[in-house]
Amino acid sequence: MSTEAHDHGSAEDHIHPEPTGFFWKYVWSTDHKMIGKQYLFTAFFFLLVGGLMALLIRWQLAYPGKPVPVIGVPLSSLMFAFSEDGSVKPEGYNQLVTMHGTIMIFFVVIPILVGAFGNFLIPLHVGARDVAFPFLNALSYWLFLPAGIIIFASLFIDKGAAAAGWTSYPPLADIEAAAPGSGMGQVFWLLAVFLLGFSSILGGLNFLVTIVRLRAPGMTWTRLPLITWAQTTTAVFQLLATPVLAAATVLQLMDHVAMTSFFLPHDLVIGDKAMGYSGGGASLMWQHIFWFYSHPAVYILVLPGMGIASDLIATFARKPIFGYKAMVVSMVGIMGLGFLVWGHHMFLSGMNPMMGMAFMTSTMLIALPSGVKVFNWLATLWGGSIRFTVPMLCGLSFVAMFIIGGLSGIFMAATPVDIFIHDTYYIVAHFHYVVFGGTLFAIFGGLYFWFPKMFGRMMNNKLAFVHWLLTFVAFNCVFFPMHILGEGGHMRRISEPTKYEFLNQFASWNVFITWSAIILGFSQLIFLANFFGSMFFGKKAEQNPWQSNTLEWTTPSPIPYYNYEKVPVVYRGPYEYGTGPATAESDCVPQSQPDSGGSAHGTH
Amino acid sequence: MTFRKLLPAALLLAAGTTLLAGSTAGEDARWGWLPPNVNSAYGKDTDDLYLKVMWVVGAIFFLTEGLLLAFMLMYRGRPGRKATYIHGSNIAELTWTVIPCGILIWLAVTQYDAWRNIRENFPKPKDNPVVIEILANQFNWHFRQADKDGKLGTEASNAFTTTDSLHLPVNRKVLCRMISKDVIHSFFIPFARVKQDVLPGMMTKVWYEIDRIPVWKVTGVEKRQLKSARSGKIEPTEVLLGEMALLTEAEFNAKKVALPEAWNERSAGWDSRLRWESRDLDESKRKEYYYVVTSPKAVFRHAGKYEEGDASSAEYVYHHYEIACAELCGLGHTGMRGVLYVEPADMYEKWRAEKEKYGESTEASKFRDLWDGIYSKTDWYQRGVK
């Protein structure tokens, strides 16, 4: 038995009673499950905000300059982004695009995947009572929340929110004269991202230590569920890449408030006005630093999704995951290569072309582990007995959509091809297939799957099915045509495509995409209604409604404050369906169920 | 559960709707493919590589998605069915690791030559390229061309500038040296497969050669009630319906092509006085693609000679490509649109001789110090883009 298992054994003596006061239970809670829910609910709020922004963006693209129906005029009194007649200003459009990206990445997807699922599941999956540093964990959330408040508040300030894209390239992002949103709006953006960075670093550290040190007796590395492996690799990204971004935001902040020139060359002239910066900085430097974090961030966005999909597919195909070790090696491979591909965002930036060739090769190679994972998921389905529950449909949708998003990435990796499709809707289609079609489906699947553990009730199955179906169809109607736009050269981030003759042919596509997006947006209300309705009125959940093997299903639903009455002993891998002492009624073999021989040492 | 029986139907519906999305999107939408390529220097290489990736990726797409659907169907849970207990297969996993690895490395290696050609094989003096200096600002493209002595930069003696409109000779190599005076822009000519970021404080370069002259092939003439771009009033206007066509130099010279009114004047204001417009029209008509004829008279060029005629009798109208900014550059980003005229050598030389008389436009000349200054101060940035 491992050393950490011994260490952990003694922790059983230190069980604190569950706090009873509202503040200690729901607000300043150090319980990983409550913190996970705090992240989840905050992210839901931002999902609505970011989603609404997407619809406003789409409205402007389909009907440039037309007032936004119903909400346009009321918003115009609150936000700089809207004209008095309720239409989106050109600068407002840039602000919406910027904030949609920022909010969806930093305040929705990462908080749900890492903040919510990471917090809720890691201690349960390793068989621990909580994370290694519960106080630090609470602190992470309480750094995240002010970041969220700052970013949300920036929408309503004079001259509006940041408007230089979620990538915030200087000099546009650095100088207010270049864009109104690059004044206070950008300062708010930088402060928010800086705070978020700290939250993320603390979270990554916490999870890594938890996984390394707090595994239950018998929980060897090869018995961890793949979602926990995904969280491990994600934590490494958070720990090593986020500080780089945090430092960069401080430098850009200094450019704003202290007239430094970290990212500003000399002789900048905005309009007719010389800006008087001492110069000497380079705007390309920001791009390098930003993408050194933000490309790994893309994997932070997708690795946990891969982990969730693996868990769902193994559980509902009733089979061990095919090639567990290859799946782990793939994720570790993505983690390693993930640090070496940032330059593929910069093929046309003015970076030395030789570097373009190196980054093209590393980028092609990072497709390999993803490909291996896809084949392993397919092989897991092979010979299975698939149960088409809604979580499984979401898991399968993840695979189907991730294939498209992954394959379209190969076009961008090919540098000569990227010259044409760079900064077009091809890119928009690609990353939405990965992050929405892939990750968000995994998130939905994960929420449908673990909801019984979170709240002790089941979500309504019919509503869930309708939500999945509408989302799947509408998603593809929104994002598949964007490949076609991109192939036609349709630039992204332009507020009025009708100004270009060569884009006229895409006008009706833009209308089609917009109405599909409206359907997609409203479909999510079904999910939210189902989620919050089921929290209070859902059918009471059994302990293990999906007959899953991992540890969290061996404890009651909802999970008690200290997770496990007795810290479990682990005897096998997480996906040993249909083996061992399975009964005729169930092929479920929980990880903590002793073998007939009772050994805690074997891998399987 | 009953609704689960609906699953196959639901999946079919999902797939069907997605596929049908194309045909429901309106008559002027098209299944997009790459726009026509007019860059004879390397545009075809780019397109061929695109298609090569498409074949590889397409095959993998149908293989994986096909297997996914097939396995979902074949291994659906049924009463009495038991899943096969298997952990993996080294041979299978090795196969789908090694083969894709080979394919990916092959894909990467096959791009190298084209990339080097595009990014490093800039025209030499012996190629007699047209050298253009581009100064980008929010939200214009300023183009500076050398006069006959070919000198630019701080040595330029009689260079001239145009704003948002670039004239180039057909079938001749072009080298653009670019710099921005404010934020990052990106010089994009979709039809020529040209795209390169334009940065402040650092010069970037791009080269290409265009072998097709864009014209407007007239298919019909219509009178419409349109808002005039100039007077702002609704008035009956003659409209030439048609589509873009791309002619070789020989074809262009053989056809009778209507030119803008001020063609013979060769004045500095040439660009802003085009008679035919397809933009800034009445909003409801905006997405349609046609020329508005504001005067019945037109100048025609046929076999190198010029003659006057009736605009509505035009078979072809001289047209342009579009230049766009592809990098978000501020609130006027969308409007950072330029036009690119490509013409036979004699037309280009005549136009250039005329422009030289006027030198730099007032608008661009105020940037001259800055323009020259930026170039002289960027030495250390220029490594790698000499």
Q: Domain-by-domain residue ranges, chain B?
A: 34-76+86-121, 131-386
- Burial status of residue A453 (CB atoms within 10 A of its CB: 0-12, 13-18, 19 or more): buried
CB contacts of A508 in chain B (<8 Å) are 25-29, 287
Amino acid found at A581: P
Residues A161/A192, Cβ–Cβ less than 8 Å = no
**What's the half-sphere exposure (Cβ side, CA atoms, 13 Å) at A584?**
1
Give residue A580's pLDDT: 57
Tokens representing B160 are 């001239």
Give residue A549's pLDDT: 93
Residues B301/B267, Cβ–Cβ less than 8 Å = no
Write the pLDDT tens digit of every residue in B224-247.
777 665 667 777 777 787 778 899
- B contact residues 255-314, partner A, Cβ 8 Å cutoff: 278-279, 286-289
Count other Cβ atoms within 10 Å, centred on residue B383.
Answer: 8
B37 touches chain A (CB under 8 A): no
CB contacts of A411 in chain B (<8 Å) are 50, 53-54, 57
Is the Cβ pair B322, A180 closer than 8 Å?
A: no
Single pTM value for the model: 0.91
The residue ranking higher by pLDDT, B15 or A85, is: A85
Give residue A545's pLDDT: 94
Give residue B24's pLDDT: 39
CB contacts of B371 in chain A (<8 Å) are none
CB contacts of A318 in chain B (<8 Å) are 77, 82-83
Classify strands B160-163 and B297-302 as parallel, antiparallel or unpaired. Answer: unpaired
Give residue B358's pLDDT: 66
Is the Cβ pair A396, B68 closer than 8 Å?
A: yes
Which helix (H) or strand (E) element contains residue A464? helix A461-487
Classify strands A273-274 and B290-293 as parallel, antiparallel or unpaired. Answer: unpaired
Is the Cβ pair A94, B326 closer than 8 Å?
A: no
Shortest Cα–Cα distance, B55 to chain A (Å): 11
CA dist B217 and B243 (Å) reads 5
CA dist A65 and A47 (Å) reads 25
Give residue B268's pLDDT: 30
Q: Taking residues B367-372, what's their average pLDDT? A: 65
| φ and ψ at residue B341, rounded to 5 degrees | -95, 130
Mean pLDDT of chain B: 78
Shortest Cα–Cα distance, A207 to chain B (Å): 28
CB contacts of B22 in chain A (<8 Å) are 481, 484
CA dist A125 and A122 (Å) reads 5
Please report which confidence band the pLDDT of residue B376 belongs to, taking 50, 70 and 90 as the band edges: low
CB contacts of A480 in chain B (<8 Å) are 18, 21
A91 touches chain B (CB under 8 A): yes
DSSP assigned state of B39: B
Bridge partners, B226 (sequence order): B235
Tokens representing A381 are 């389905």
B77 touches chain A (CB under 8 A): yes
Residue in A377, A396, A390, A478 with CA at minimum distance from that of residue A433: A478
Facing residue for A493 by CB, picked from B28, B181, B328: B328
A362 touches chain B (CB under 8 A): no
CA dist B227 and B237 (Å) reads 9
Q: Dihedral, CA atoms, A55, A60, A61, A65, nearest 10 degrees?
A: 170
Is the Cβ pair A403, B64 closer than 8 Å?
A: yes
CA dist B186 and A45 (Å) reads 36
Amino acid found at B53: V
Is the Cβ pair B104, A365 closer than 8 Å?
A: yes
Give residue B379's pLDDT: 45
Percent helix, strand and coil across chain B, each rounded to 5?
40, 30, 30
pLDDT along chain A (604 residues), means of 10: 43 70 88 96 96 96 92 92 92 95 96 95 95 95 96 94 94 92 95 95 95 95 96 94 94 93 88 83 92 92 96 95 95 94 92 90 92 96 94 97 95 94 96 94 97 95 96 96 93 90 84 96 96 96 93 92 91 85 70 67 43
CB within 8 A of B109, min separation 6: which ones? Answer: none
Q: Dihedral, CA atoms, B36, B40, B43, B44, nearest 10 degrees?
A: 80
CA dist A427 and A411 (Å) reads 10
A470 touches chain B (CB under 8 A): no
Is the Cβ pair B14, A480 closer than 8 Å?
A: no
Residues B40/B211, Cβ–Cβ less than 8 Å = yes
CB contacts of A262 in chain B (<8 Å) are none
Facing residue for B71 by CB, picked from A378, A410, A512: A378
CA dist B356 and B146 (Å) reads 9
CA dist A437 and A460 (Å) reads 22
Which helix (H) or strand (E) element contains residue B220? strand B213-227
CB contacts of B287 in chain A (<8 Å) are 498, 504, 507-508
Residue of B nearest to A359 (CA): B108
Q: What is the CATH number of domain B131-386?
A: 2.60.40.420
Radius of gyration of chain A (CA): 24
ipTM of the complex: 0.92
A25 touches chain B (CB under 8 A): no
Shortest Cα–Cα distance, A566 to chain B (Å): 30
Give residue B231's pLDDT: 67
Helix boundaries (H) for A339-435? 353-381, 390-413, 415-421, 425-432
How many helices (H) and strands (E) would you count in chain B? 8, 18
CA dist A22 and A508 (Å) reads 53
Is the Cβ pair A419, B194 closer than 8 Å?
A: yes
CB contacts of A399 in chain B (<8 Å) are 68
Is the Cβ pair A385, B34 closer than 8 Å?
A: no
Give residue B14's pLDDT: 58
CB contacts of B18 in chain A (<8 Å) are 473, 476-477, 480
DSSP result, B104-138: HHHHHHHHHHHHHHHHH-PPPGGG-PEEEEEEEET
Is the Cβ pair B370, A269 closer than 8 Å?
A: yes
B332 touches chain A (CB under 8 A): yes
CB contacts of B112 in chain A (<8 Å) are 357
Count of pairs with CB atoms under 8 A, one residue in A, one in B: 373
Is the Cβ pair B93, A326 closer than 8 Å?
A: yes
- Please check the confidence at residue B275 and state whether its pLDDT lies above 60: no
Shortest Cα–Cα distance, B117 to chain A (Å): 10
Is the Cβ pair A416, B49 closer than 8 Å?
A: yes
Q: Taking residues B5-18, what's their average pLDDT? A: 56
Shortest Cα–Cα distance, A140 to chain B (Å): 33
A271 touches chain B (CB under 8 A): yes
Is the Cβ pair A400, B111 closer than 8 Å?
A: no
- Burial status of residue B3 (CB atoms within 10 A of its CB: 0-12, 13-18, 19 or more): exposed
- Burial status of residue A437 (CB atoms within 10 A of its CB: 0-12, 13-18, 19 or more): buried
Residue of A nearest to B177 (CA): A350
Residues A315/B80, Cβ–Cβ less than 8 Å = no
Shortest Cα–Cα distance, B112 to chain A (Å): 7
- B contact residues 206-265, partner A, Cβ 8 Å cutoff: none
Facing residue for B202 by CB, picked from A172, A265, A371: A265
Give residue A3's pLDDT: 41
Shortest Cα–Cα distance, A93 to chain B (Å): 8
CA dist A332 and A377 (Å) reads 17
Interface mutation vs chain B, best among A483, A494, A515, A547, most B CBs within 10 Å: A494
Which CATH architecture best describes the domain B34-76+86-121?
A: Orthogonal Bundle (1.10)
Tokens representing A441 are 């489906």
- Out of A376-380, B65-69, B164-168, which region has the weakest mean confidence (pLDDT)? B164-168
B66 touches chain A (CB under 8 A): no
Is the Cβ pair B115, A356 closer than 8 Å?
A: yes
- Please check the confidence at residue B354 and state whether its pLDDT lies above 90: no
Q: What is the CATH number of domain A3-12+31-269+276-554?
A: 1.20.210.10
Residues A371/A402, Cβ–Cβ less than 8 Å = no
Give residue B363's pLDDT: 60
Residues A318/A334, Cβ–Cβ less than 8 Å = no
Q: Taking residues B93-115, what's their average pLDDT? A: 93
Q: Taking residues B24-32, what's their average pLDDT? A: 37
Which helix (H) or strand (E) element contains residue B240? strand B234-247
CB contacts of A324 in chain B (<8 Å) are 87-88
